Structure 1
Amino acid sequence: MSGSDRQGVADPIVFDDFLKVDVRVGEVVDAQPFPEARKPAYRLAIDFGPGIGVKKSSAQITKHYTLAELVGRKVAAVVNFPPRQIGPFMSEVLTLGFPDDAGEVVLVGVDREVPVGGRLF
């Protein structure tokens, strides 16, 4: 199966490839509607702490989350992808989630208190 096949397991990688993807925990400090997006989405501002700062992300998470419940929530995001233009908005990080049975995004989170900016290992 190809690495692009979302149903199968991706092609094998070596540990050094995994280390190239910088996944950090951050806290959502602001969440706004994003009516200009092609698919329903929110604009998020996520604080990753003093080493990285606050970064922007567009997230298609409108089915399971309200704007109010997102603020203060810890999320996981890839922080070392190049910024991506999404309509009039520049998304700086990729907020991570898994699809539910209907294909809607469920955010990746942590189940204990951790400091913002912590790196996934």
Structure 2
Amino acid sequence: MHVTHSPGDPAADPITFEDFLKVDVRVGRVVTAEAFPEARKPAYKLTIDFGPTIGVKRSSAQITEHYALEDLPGRLVAAVVNFPPRQIGKFMSEVLTLGFPDERGAVVLFAPDKAVPIGGRLF
């Protein structure tokens, strides 16, 4: 799953704290990363472990510009885990891996800057 925004986009409409709590963002550890040559835009297929409560989920991530496949396993990432799965070609993306655009719009992964237990929820 992926959504494209740019740094110049205006702020989104205000939401309530209850609305924020509906978005379940968890930290997970990349287990495997595979090429995704069938994707319309360059992307990888990620398998991410979110711990015993959420389990292992898959995600399509457009992160090919800044990350090599071999560098991704073991890396912590943040993802929205409560969106409905989304079919991307023949691949079912189950979570939305989060990132920010760099100055050219390429995705930079969003992750904690210290080690935290997988499955932890953003608050």
Partner of 2:114: 112
Secondary structure class of the residue paired with 1:85: strand
- Cα RMSD (Å) of the superposition? 1.0
Determine which of 49, 70, 81 is the counterpart of 2:72: 70
Partner of 2:103: 101
Partner of 2:46: 44
Partner of 2:24: 22
Report the TM-score when normalising by structure 2. 0.93
- How many angstroms does 1:99 deviate by? 0.3
Amino acid at match of 1:115: P
Partner of 2:89: 87
Separation in 1, partners of 2:115, 2:61: 23
- How many angstroms does 1:66 deviate by? 0.4
How many residues get paired? 117
Separation in 2, partners of 1:52, 1:109: 18
Gaps spanning 5+ residues in structure 2: where? none
Moved over 6 A (4+): none
Quick one: percent identity of the two aligned structures? 74
Question: Structure with the greater relative contact order (CA < 8 A, sep ≥ 6): 1 or 2?
Answer: 2
Secondary structure class of the residue paired with 2:52: coil
